[in-house]
């Protein structure tokens, strides 16, 4: 397909009619009529009025998922059949790639090229990957005395509620929904209030692709209402959450206050990017800049702390600053845009507050730091050096395009700095010394360590955090552990 131009995308945006109903039990569900506005970060206009689920809609959606699990076909299908349904779902997503990518760029402000080339590819690939492996799981027959037979079988846990953030609205959803469905669970998805439109469309597409009623339900609504109702619901067996560490704490409380449902948490980060003096500096600078500015810095894994050896700090930071200045900030619907708009006015104000506090703490601004004088929520890519470990910018997640540069003199100091946060999601190490790479990747407490690269990998490797970045893993076969229980059957022969 010829690449669409800015004008093509603008015309498509003008024609887009977002889905503004919940999707429950295989059908549109208008809800109570209460709504909330979805604001386009590119210009601050109202894109649509999304349906606002409260307790009542959440009850209806959970009841549909419960029925579909207890008596419906989905968990009872032969695994290969479930797999084929997920492959059809992946095909349907691919067939609607343009519309879904456009919806995401409009609702959360990322560049259309990234929504289309990166996010939508990942979403279809995730449903395909779990569809393909649905019938390839092998259970266990442990060794037993001669007069007994033991079976250890994986069983679907039941009704899964997935509550997800706005930064990768459909990828974060797919990482939970696809393995849960592959395992034979039924699902209620609640997208973030900033980005409900792509998820509501995804719900309809699941039914169009032939998933049975109730297998996959989507309700839009606000966190403290719809999200809380799911967290407290007695008929939800597992709550899979991606979002901030603060809200993760709420979900643990909801579980304790209700049915002790299992809660899986994928939370925030303040990831270190360590550069040793022997590294390929040009590649390290490119990776550091790309890592922190990709997706407007609204990345849980963003390498927001650049830890650099004192001897190469000037050279490396100058190269990162040059790359920051070369970014094209602009309309997310322009295919030439490399940095779009931050998700909303409140979020932009929070990021600006981080910048103000970095100034006040004595960090040195090397580039950026200001919002753009135009409609929408645009911020310059920002780099601070002379950041010290006690400053808020060295410890707090910004979730925006703001890089903190800290320096070290020894490998031990680098590791100590890397571990000096409450988070443990990801880390990067740049060195040509294989032993140093191994030593550091063992010593840094993180769910993923990238060596001489950043943000790479495939669906076959697990993703998740340690410490207050969460627990449990998305992606790979390990994700199935969250959505299956082990049953032991011991048979006396």
Least separation in angstroms between residue 222's CB and ligand NAD is 6
Q: Are 156 and 79 in contact (CB under 8 A)?
A: no
Give whichever of 167 and 337 is closer to ligand NAD, judged by the CB atom. 167
Residue 177 sits at the vertex; the CA angle it makes with 173 and 180, to the nearest 5 degrees, is 150
Q: Are 405 and 393 in contact (CB under 8 A)?
A: no
CB-CB neighbours of 272 under 10 Å: 29
Place of tokens 């007695």: 234
Give whichever of 85 and 174 is closer to ligand NAD, judged by the CB atom. 174
**3-class SS of residue 380:** coil
Residues 365-404 that bind ligand NAD (CB under 6 A): 397, 399
The CA-based dihedral angle spanning residues 37, 39, 43, 47, taken in that order and rounded to the nearest 10 degrees: -60
Residue 300 binds ligand NAD (CB under 6 A): yes
Residue 165 is encoded by which pair of tokens? 């953030």
Distance of CA 441 to the CA centre of its chain: 23
Of 51, 111, 424, 465, which one interacts with ligand NAD (CB under 6 A)?
Answer: 465
Q: Which stretch binds ligand NAD (CB under 6 A): 267-275, 332-340, 354-362, 431-439?
A: 267-275
Give whichever of 335 and 462 is closer to ligand NAD, judged by the CB atom. 462
- Residue 208's nearest CA partner among 13, 67, 58, 23 is 23
Of 99, 193, 331, 334, which one interacts with ligand NAD (CB under 6 A)?
Answer: 193
Catalytic residue among 57, 300, 380, 397: 300
Of 23, 176, 250, 270, which one interacts with ligand NAD (CB under 6 A)?
Answer: 250
Binding string, residues 209-248; x marks residues near ligand NAD by CB under 6 A: -------------xxx--xx--x----------xxx--x-
- Can 185 be counted among the known catalytic residues? no
**3-class SS of residue 383:** strand
Binding string, residues 140-179; x marks residues near ligand NAD by CB under 6 A: -----------------------xxxxx----x-------
**CA 363, 367, 373, 378 torsion-angle sign:** negative
Give whichever of 250 and 386 is closer to ligand NAD, judged by the CB atom. 250
β-strand partners of 148: 492
- Can 266 be counted among the known catalytic residues? yes
Q: What is the CB-side half-sphere exposure of residue 465 using CA atoms within 13 A?
A: 27
Residue 41 binds ligand NAD (CB under 6 A): no
Question: Which residues are known catalytic residues?
Answer: 266, 300
- Name the site residues for ligand NAD (rule: CB under 6 A): 163-167, 172, 190, 192-193, 222-224, 227-228, 231, 242-244, 247, 250, 266-269, 300, 397, 399, 425, 465, 469-470
């Amino acid at each position: 397909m010829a690449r669409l131009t800015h004008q093509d995308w603008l015309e498509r945006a003008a024609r887009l009619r977002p889905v503004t109903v919940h999707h429950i039990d295989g059908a549109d569900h208008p809800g109570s009529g209460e709504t909330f506005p979805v604001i386009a970060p590119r210009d601050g206009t109202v894109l649509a009025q999304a349906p606002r689920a409260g307790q009542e809609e959440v009850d209806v959606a959970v009841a549909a998922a419960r029925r579909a699990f207890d008596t419906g076909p989905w968990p009872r299908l032969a695994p290969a059949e479930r797999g084929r349904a997920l492959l059809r779902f992946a095909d349907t997503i691919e067939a609607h790639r343009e519309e879904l990518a456009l919806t995401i760029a409009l609702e959360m402000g990322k560049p259309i090229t990234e929504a289309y080339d990166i996010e939508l590819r990942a979403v279809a690939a995730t449903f395909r990957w779990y569809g393909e492996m649905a019938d390839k799981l092998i259970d266990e027959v442990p060794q037993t005395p001669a007069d007994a037979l033991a079976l250890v079988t994986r069983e679907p846990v039941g009704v899964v509620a997935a509550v997800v953030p706005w930064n990768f609205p459909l990828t974060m959803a797919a990482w939970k929904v696809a393995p849960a469905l592959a395992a034979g669970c039924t699902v209620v998805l609640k997208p973030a209030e900033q980005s409900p439109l792509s998820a509501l469309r995804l719900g309809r597409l699941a039914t169009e692709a032939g998933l049975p009623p109730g297998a996959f339900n989507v309700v839009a609504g606000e966190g403290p209402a719809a999200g809380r109702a799911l967290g407290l619901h007695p008929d939800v067996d597992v709550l899979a959450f991606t979002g901030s560490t603060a809200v993760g704490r709420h979900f643990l409380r909801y579980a304790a206050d209700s049915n002790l449902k299992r809660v899986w948490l994928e939370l925030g980060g303040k990831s270190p990017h360590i550069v040793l003096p022997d590294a390929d500096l040009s590649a390290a600078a490119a990776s550091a800049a790309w890592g922190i500015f990709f997706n407007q810095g609204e990345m849980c894994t963003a390498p927001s702390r650049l830890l650099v050896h004192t001897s190469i700090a000037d050279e490396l930071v100058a190269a990162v600053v040059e790359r920051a200045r070369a970014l094209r900030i602009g309309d997310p619907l322009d295919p030439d845009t490399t940095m779009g708009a931050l998700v909303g006015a409140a979020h932009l104000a929070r990021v600006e507050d981080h910048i103000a506090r970095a100034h006040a703490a004595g960090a040195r601004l090397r580039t950026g730091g200001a919002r753009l004088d135009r409609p929408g929520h645009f911020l310059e890519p920002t780099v601070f050096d002379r950041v010290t470990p006690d400053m808020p910018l060295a410890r707090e997640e910004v979730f925006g395009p703001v890089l903190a540069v800290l320096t070290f003199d020894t490998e031990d100091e680098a590791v100590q700095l890397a571990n000096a946060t409450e988070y443990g999601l990801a880390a990067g190490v740049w060195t040509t010394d294989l032993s140093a790479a191994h030593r550091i990747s063992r010593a840094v407490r993180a769910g993923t360590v990238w060596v001489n690269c950043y943000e790479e990998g495939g669906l076959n490797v697990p993703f998740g955090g340690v410490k207050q970045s969460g627990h449990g893993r998305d992606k790979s076969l390990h994700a199935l552990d969250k959505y299956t229980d082990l049953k032991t059957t011991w048979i006396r022969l």
